[in-house]
Amino acid sequence: MRRLSIATAHAFLLVYSTTCLESFTSVKCYFEEIREQRQDFQEIPIVVAGNKSDMTSHHRAVHLEDVSEWLYCELPKLRTKLLECSAKDNYNIREVFRTFLTLSKILTTNGEENSLKRRSSAYVNKGKCDVSQIRKKCLFL
């Protein structure tokens, strides 16, 4: 199931916890799985998200710079973005989903719909992304 999902997915959201170093190690392993299975991995939107960013003042275990070094220095040619987020503070949650649209070139970076991609407009409502529409298409592993 997992292999099939990796083989057919249009995008990946890799989530680690900012409070758990092991979870970042897992993200690197997941990425390797994707790289092994997908020849087109450089074209696939991949969002890397560090959750629970509200806890970092006391419990930070993963530094954004380390993740960013891995992502942008070791793997420079990817269609990817790194974000820290917090469900508790509702910080960057919408941004995580919106990033898929910009990485897929469905939205421009300032949130406007790309006219060349109007057939994808089911996901886009006057420049605002419809998270529930996207969620229906997701498979959580």
Ligand X SMILES: Nc1nc2c(ncn2[C@@H]2O[C@H](COP(=O)(O)OP(=O)(O)OP(=O)(O)O)[C@@H](O)[C@H]2O)c(=O)[nH]1
Q: Is 17 in the site for ligand X (CB under 6 A)?
A: yes
**Residue 92, interface with ligand NAG (CB under 6 A)?**
no
User: Which long-range CB contacts under 8 A does 70-77 form with residues at least 24 apart?
Assistant: 70/28, 75/31, 77/42
Give min distance, CB of 51 to ligand X, in A. Answer: 6
Residue of 66, 96, 92, 93 lying closest to 81 (CA atoms): 96
Q: Work out whether 86 is an interface residue with ligand X (CB under 6 A).
A: yes
> What are 95-98's contacts with CB under 8 Å, separation 24+?
96/13, 96/47, 96/49, 97/129, 97/131, 97/134, 98/129
Q: Which is nearer to ligand X, 26 or 86 (CB)?
A: 86
Site stretch for ligand X (CB under 6 A), options 24-32, 81-89, 99-107, 128-136: 81-89
Give the one entry of ligand X, ligand NAG, none that residue 13 binds, where binding means its C-beta sits below a cut-off of 5 to 8 angstroms depending on kind: none
119 DSSP assignment: G
The answer to whether residues 119 and 106 touch, using CB atoms and an 8 Å cutoff, is no
Tokens encoding 41: 């991995």
- Does position 52 interact with ligand X (CB under 6 A)? The reply is yes
15 binds, among ligand X, ligand NAG, none (CB under 5 to 8 A by kind): ligand NAG
Q: Which does 99 bind (CB under 5 to 8 A by kind): ligand NAG, ligand X, none?
A: none
Give the footprint of ligand NAG on this chain (CB under 6 A). 15-17, 23, 51, 87
